[in-house]
Structures are given as C-alpha cells and as structure tokens.
C-alpha cells in the first residue's frame, strides 16, 4: 500500500497559475523592441538570479538590455516589469477550487515557486484569497533557492518538519519532479487539473485500502 503523503507541495506557474500566453509574450517583445529569439534567450538565461532575489527588477532588465545590445531607460523598465507581471498573473480557477477542497479536507498544503520579488509581491497583494490555504509559501526570491536545486525541496521539508517521503510534489517540469523523487519525495508531473485531481483521489484510495483507478501519482522515472 502507498500512503497518502502528509503534505502536498504545489508548484505555482504552470500548475496553479497559467504560463505566459502568446499575447503576453508579444507584449513583452514589443515593449522591449527586440526580436523574439534574442529576447527570450536573454530573458531566461538571466532569470535565475532574479528569481533567487539576487537582482532587483531594474537590475535584471538592465542586464537583459545589455545582452540585447540595447539600453532600457527607467520608463521602459517600469513598462517591462508591469508587462512581465501581467503575463504571469492569470490563475486556473479549477486548480483554485481543488486547492480549497483539499485544504478543507485537512490536508497540509505548501507552495514552492521560482519567482522574482516583483511578482511575489503582486501575488501576495492580489491573490491572498487562495494563498491563505498554504501553510508554507516558499518563494525563491525569499529563500535564495530555485528548483531543481535539491536544497529548495529540503528547505521546505525542514520548515514543515517532515521527511521527504511525507511530501508529494505537484509540478509541471520534469526536471523538478526528477530532482524531488531522487531525494525521496513523491512526484506528480502535472499536465492538467483533471490529472492532478485523479492523482490525489487515487492516493487517498490507496491510503484507505480502496481500489484505485490508476497509479497513485503521475510520477516519472529519471533516465
């Protein structure tokens, strides 16, 4: 029998919040006045220190500008920060409903996200209605640790006073699930809310000894 973990550790972007839409991406490249391939290369290549809280938004976008061979003035940087936040702001209401339902059942919930300070502040200000369901909110800009660094997962376990085996990570990126499972956490590779709901239902069934309709988690095996 596979036990239901004591803590569900959710990713934010790509799970609860939607990834950037094509329109949001177009807005960013338009504001930057940069060709999309070069822009997105710089955007992601320089993102990790921003997510870890090592750069402010202004410093990050100045570095992006340098990588593009451009210069962004203060007004342009403000527009880019605003557009970036807007692009990551949309949440999946079906996942919000699942979080509320799971929290109401008494299951412990935690959140682990690679996120810069500007975006973290926005979520705390505008999404408190459902963030309040999480016992622990581990924003990388506050912890200094980004996934898939094993220390990010271990930090959460320490703060929650649980072993890795007591945690189920729900994340949409395979490399994060690989890293978590290597440490002993259970992992579910998120594809959609229906799959996440089924994984949780099957895990509860396994714990109670009832027949499950499929594997308890959508885990994956690292190559």
pLDDT of residue 1: 38
Residue 138 is predicted with a pLDDT of 98
pLDDT, tens digit, for every residue of 70-123? Answer: 999 999 999 999 999 999 999 999 999 999 999 999 999 999 999 999 999 999
pLDDT at 195 over 90: no
Q: How far apart are CA 59 and CA 72, in angstroms?
A: 11
Q: Mean pLDDT of all residues in the chain?
A: 91
pLDDT at res. 141: 98
Dist CA 179 CA 222 (whole Å): 9
d(CA 101, CA 96): 9
pTM tops 0.85: yes
pLDDT (tens digit, 9 = 90+) per residue, 161-184?
999 999 999 999 999 999 999 999
Spatial CA neighbour of 152 closest among 44, 5, 51: 51
pLDDT band per the 50, 70, 90 thresholds, residue 216:
low
Domains (ranges, CATH) in the chain? 7-18+91-208 (3.40.50.1000), 22-87 (no CATH)
**How much of the chain exceeds pLDDT 70, in percent?**
88
Q: What's the chain's length in residues?
A: 223
Whose CA is closest to 159, among 53, 3, 5, 9? 9
């Amino acid at each position: 029998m596979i036990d239901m973990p004591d803590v569900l550790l959710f990713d934010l972007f790509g799970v609860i919040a939607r990834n950037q839409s094509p329109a949001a991406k177009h807005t960013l490249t338009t504001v930057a006045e940069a060709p999309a391939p070069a822009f997105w290369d710089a955007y992601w290549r320089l993102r990790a220190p921003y997510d870890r809280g090592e750069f402010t938004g202004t410093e990050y976008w100045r570095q992006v500008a340098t990588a593009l061979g451009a210069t962004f003035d203060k007004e342009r940087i403000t527009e880019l920060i605003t557009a970036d936040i807007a692009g990551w702001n949309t949440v999946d209401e079906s996942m919000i409903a699942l979080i509320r339902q799971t929290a109401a059942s008494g299951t412990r919930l935690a959140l682990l996200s690679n996120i810069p300070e500007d975006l973290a502040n926005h979520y705390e200000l505008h999404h408190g209605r459902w963030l309040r369901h999480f016992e622990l909110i581990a924003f990388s800009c506050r912890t200094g640790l980004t996934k898939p660094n094993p220390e990010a997962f271990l930090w959460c376990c320490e703060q929650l006073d649980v072993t890795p085996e007591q945690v189920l990570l729900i994340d949409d990126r395979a490399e994060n699930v690989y890293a978590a499972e290597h440490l002993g956490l259970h992992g579910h590779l998120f594809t959609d809310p229906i799959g996440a709901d089924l994984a949780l239902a099957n895990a509860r069934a396994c714990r109670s000894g009832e027949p499950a309709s499929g594997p308890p988690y959508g885990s994956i095996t690292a190559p």
